[in-house]
Amino acid sequence: MFLQPKSVEAALAMMAEPGARLLAGGTDFFPAQGEQVIEHPVIDISRLADLRGIATTPTHIRIGGAATWSEIVAQPLPRGFDALKAAAKEIGSIQIQNRGTIAGNLCNASPAADSVPPLMALEAEVELLSAAGTRRLPLGAFILGNRKTALLPGEMVSAILVPRNVAENASAFGKLGARRYLVISIVMIAVAMSLENGRVGQARIAIGACSAVAQRLAEAEAALVGCRKAEEIAGRLHAGHLAALAPIDDVRATAGYRRDAALILLRRVAAAAMLAAGN
Amino acid sequence: MPTVKMTVNGKPVSAEVEARTLLVHFLREHLDLTGTHVGCDTAQCGACTVHVGGKAVKSCNMLAVQADGAEVTTIEGLATGDTLHPMQEAFRDHHGLQCGFCTPGMVMSAIDLVKRKADLSEAEIRAGLEGNICRCTGYHNIVKAVQAGAAATRGR
Ligand SMILES: Cc1cc2nc3c(=O)[nH]c(=O)nc-3n(C[C@H](O)[C@H](O)[C@H](O)COP(=O)(O)OP(=O)(O)OC[C@H]3O[C@@H](n4cnc5c(N)ncnc54)[C@H](O)[C@@H]3O)c2cc1C
Ligand code: FES
Ligand code: FES
């Protein structure tokens, strides 16, 4: 059964259908489906304009869950989103960015989902909508594990919310893959930072693909406070700051390589954020 | 079965299709527009690239019903009578193809790329075509063709 609701309310009502699954850009959905016949009801939310827009509220920047990567890249946004835009421009290729959506990337919950570190570094929250109403979760509490989220039956991601004060921070993103495009990341890092009197006031650092769920690196963040120059950054960050990671050995890289690469990438991206902040 | 209606290469079409029909199969099997190729089933290769609503997409990665009401352009929609589109002409002139399997998708992606930015460096062309895989040419002549096609499109 294929359902094309004309409104978000209609989509929520259809989600009562047992086994129903949402379809947005389909860029995770179809490749995972392969040759199998689709047996469950499918609800197409890719054409719901109400789920797509990007708006500024008094407290937050609100990105509709079905906004595509191309739409996000094209939208003028505060510089805290530079990291997210940099990640978006490398998601697959332009054809994928024209279809793939932000909520699809989060709900698919791949450890290598590129939008997660930039959004975590912005303290993003996920807005969940169901027939019963809405609730909000911090992104870190929404993604629970490899392919696991806190979505309850009947719920969809209606928006991603970023506090406006954090969105004003300078930000940078870096990812390492065997090639630049069409690869699954080996490690990716996003850094958002604010300066106070020419020194790092607060840094927010998130790292992906080195644990089942991307995570913030609180100790590395603390180590950067007070830093004055991009050149100082490398000396302030060391391997101990990555102790909480649990990188895996797989065809793309060994765990040891991932650890080494993560530290180098962390230093580079933090330095880039520092330069973006103006030092 | 749902009825889909869309405009393909400027002509209105309508058909009853099973909802699970991918756009690429609708184009190839229902409309006999076999210029759009299928090279993989994982949205990787780009051989199936068409324009939907003026944007490049992989037509193996969306359902025909998801393009209901849209304007779709395929490789067959580029030439005017016997006159090839400048990008097609450039691929011919610069040997931008060998077996030709990737070519329809390459040309559709190249046109989309040039539409977004007219003046492209070699690096931008290479990056812009990352969603299209060619196993024959080594890309060198494809890049040359796109440079020439971009210049010819600008000059039109
Ligand atoms: C060739 C290729 C390259 C890729 N490269 C990258 C890459 O470099 N980096 C990267 O991170 N990803 C990459 N991806 C993965 C994919 O493109 C992204 O994860 C994309 O953002 C998914 O969005 P979508 O709208 O296509 O999701 P869909 O495939 O439509 O949906 C994915 C899942 O999320 C659910 N879902 C979708 N929207 C909602 C919603 N609003 N609420 C609740 N559930 C929802 C669906 O039910 C489904 O389970 C790539 C994919 C392909 C095919
Ligand atoms: S057939 Fe569509 S990307 Fe390969
Ligand atoms: S020319 Fe043969 S695949 Fe490109």
pLDDT score recorded for residue B22: 95
Rounded Cα–Cα distance for residues A185 and A201 (Å)? 30
**Do A94 and B109 lie within an 8 Å CB cutoff?**
yes
In a domain, A203, yes or no: yes
In a domain, A39, yes or no: no
B49 CA from centroid of ligand 3 (Å): 14
Other beta carbons within 10 angstroms of residue A75's beta carbon come to: 14
A263 with A247, same domain?
Answer: yes
Chain A CA closest to residue B60 = A30
In a domain, A4, yes or no: no
In a domain, A221, yes or no: yes
pLDDT score recorded for residue A182: 62
**Residue where one domain finishes, among candidates A165, A188, A207:** A165
A157 with A181, same domain?
Answer: no
Q: Is B134 in the pocket of ligand 3 (CB under 6 A)?
A: yes
DSSP A81: G
**Residue where one domain finishes, among candidates A117, A138, A165:** A165
List, for residues B74-115, the tens digit of each pLDDT value: 999 999 999 999 999 999 999 999 999 999 999 999 999 999
**Residue where one domain finishes, among candidates A130, A165, A200:** A165
A157 with A173, same domain?
Answer: no
A180 with A269, same domain?
Answer: yes
A135 with A194, same domain?
Answer: no
Q: Find, among B60, B19, B120, the residue nearest to A34 by Cα.
A: B60
- Number of domain units in chain A: 2
Would you give per-residue pLDDT tens digits along chain A (279 residues)?
899 999 999 999 999 989 999 999 999 999 998 888 888 999 999 999 999 999 999 999 999 999 999 999 999 999 999 999 999 999 999 999 999 999 999 999 999 999 999 999 999 999 999 999 999 999 999 999 999 999 999 999 999 999 999 999 999 999 998 666 666 788 999 999 999 999 999 999 999 998 899 999 999 999 999 999 999 999 999 999 999 888 888 877 888 888 999 999 999 999 999 999 987
Q: Which domains does chain B have, with CATH numbers?
A: 3-77 (3.10.20.30), 86-155 (1.10.150.120)
User: In the numeric block, which tokens belong to residue A60?
Assistant: 């937050």
- CATH number where A90 lies: 3.30.465.10
A139 with A174, same domain?
Answer: no
User: In the numeric block, which tokens belong to residue A231?
Assistant: 């050149």
User: In the numeric block, which tokens belong to residue B50?
Assistant: 């068409």
A149 with A105, same domain?
Answer: yes
A127 with A151, same domain?
Answer: yes
Radius of gyration of chain A (CA): 19
B66-84 burial: b if 16+ Cβ within 10 Å, else e = bbbebebbbbbbbeeeeee
Torsion (CA) B105, B106, B108, B110 in degrees, nearest 10: 160
Q: What is the pTM of this model?
A: 0.96
Contact indicator for A121, A89 with CB cutoff of 8 Å: no
A187 DSSP β-pair partners: A176
pLDDT score recorded for residue A1: 87
In a domain, A30, yes or no: no
- CATH number where A258 lies: 3.30.390.50
Across A33-37, B24-28, B37-41, B133-137, least confident range: A33-37
A160 with A182, same domain?
Answer: no
In a domain, A123, yes or no: yes
**Do B55 and A47 lie within an 8 Å CB cutoff?**
no
DSSP A151: P
Amino acid identity for residue A60 in this structure: H
Strand order across the beta sheet in which B55-58 lies = B11-16, B3-8, B71-73, B49-52, B55-58
Q: What is the ipTM of this complex?
A: 0.94
pLDDT score recorded for residue B134: 98
Chain B CA closest to residue A71 = B55
Which helix (H) or strand (E) segment holds residue B97: the answer is none
A187 with A153, same domain?
Answer: no
Please check whether residue A178 touches B, CB under 8 A. no
Q: Which domain holds residue A109?
A: 49-165
In a domain, A133, yes or no: yes
In a domain, A159, yes or no: yes
A217 with A250, same domain?
Answer: yes
Length of chain B: 156
Vertex B145, ends B79 and A73: CA angle to 5°? Answer: 85
Strand order across the beta sheet in which A60-64 lies = A54-56, A60-64, A156-163, A125-130, A133-138
pLDDT score recorded for residue A150: 98
A63 with A146, same domain?
Answer: yes
Contact indicator for A214, A234 with CB cutoff of 8 Å: no
